[in-house]
Amino acid sequence: MAGAGRSPGGLLKTLEALARSGAHRETWQITRALLPALLAGPGERATTVHTRVVSFAADVAEWAGARGELPEIAALAARPGSSHLTRHARRLHATLTA
């Protein structure tokens, strides 16, 4: 993302503003498309920005009534432990598969 001229944190702020305007479904569609690129890659340690992205995605998915499993989120949700990232991934996964 940084190579595209956007930081994940800056992009998240833009998406948050869009969601606050009431465009929940549109925000979810954009977030869903970008989510795989915004997650930590293989061998990369997750940061607080990654956690914020997944938490935001879970909120927007709930607001938009989104459904449909995302493999990357299912894999995160299946991880052992109770980190903030894992808990938010489980919440997002539960929303999408309800």
pTM for this predicted structure = 0.89
Structural domains counted in the chain:
1
Q: How does DSSP classify residue 79? A: S
pLDDT at 6: 61
- The alpha-carbon radius of gyration of the chain (Å, integer) is 13
- 41-95, pLDDT tens digit by residue? 888 999 999 999 999 999 999 999 999 999 999 999 999 999 999 999 999 999 9
pLDDT at 42: 85
Closest Cα partner for 91 from 60, 64, 55, 67? 55
Q: What would the mean pLDDT of 10-17 be, rounded to a whole number?
A: 92
Domain ranges, residue 18: 2-96
The set of residues, in sequence order, having a beta carbon less than 8 Å from that of 27 and lying 6+ positions away, is: 15, 18, 19, 60, 64
